[in-house]
Structure 1
């Protein structure tokens, strides 16, 4: 299973989101280091709206997602951008 699909499955199971988007942004980072060509799944963005985040601050939401995706981070996911919101909160996407 790809990292993208693994992330989607874990987030869906844990947070029952109203909206979920997992974007592979690895290609945007090609050339940032001499040996990195932008291939693979090393830089991801998670956009998620879930009632599970109601009453949680931004840092707590990020920690919950990072804790859930620890296996992917330990296996080589280099960067994870998180845009998490509760229903009714404004989002930029």
Structure 2
């Protein structure tokens, strides 16, 4: 698996938990979790933690034959309570192997 780190912010506990849960549940081929919270500072949903807004780019064999909506549901299910309790917003870019971003 390839894990890329596209942001310059240090990884906090929510960021690390997102990576951990996605790796455990979906075994991605590639995973890039980006903390977008700094660009949302002071906006609705910014809880001051610096870990409220994320982008997840994930490539996973389990996405083969799944619709875009089902892929997002799979990611949300893997993240469980994080989506209800810790993360205000998440952009999900989910693709199957061989699909172009």
Aligned equivalent of 1:23, options 28, 34, 38 = 34
Question: What's 2:69 paired with?
Answer: 59
Do the aligned partners of 2:63 and 2:96 also contact (CA within 8 Å) in 1?
yes
Measure the CA separation in 1 of the matches of 2:35 and 2:15: 7
Question: What's 2:15 paired with?
Answer: 4
4+ residue runs of structure 1 moved beyond 3 angstroms?
A: 35-39
Aligned equivalent of 1:87, options 87, 93, 97 = 97
- Summarize deviations over 1:27-66 as a string: whole Å, max 9, x none: 0112334x94865100011000010100000000001111
Q: Please provide the CA RMSD for this pair.
A: 1.9
TM (norm. structure 1) is: 0.86
Check 1:28–1:53 CA distance in 2 against 1; reply closer, same or farther (3 A cut). same
Shift of 1:76: 2.5
Measure the CA separation in 2 of the matches of 1:42 and 1:65: 17
Do the aligned partners of 2:46 and 2:88 also contact (CA within 8 Å) in 1?
no
**Where do 5+ consecutive residues of structure 1 fail to align?**
none
Question: What's 2:5 paired with?
Answer: none
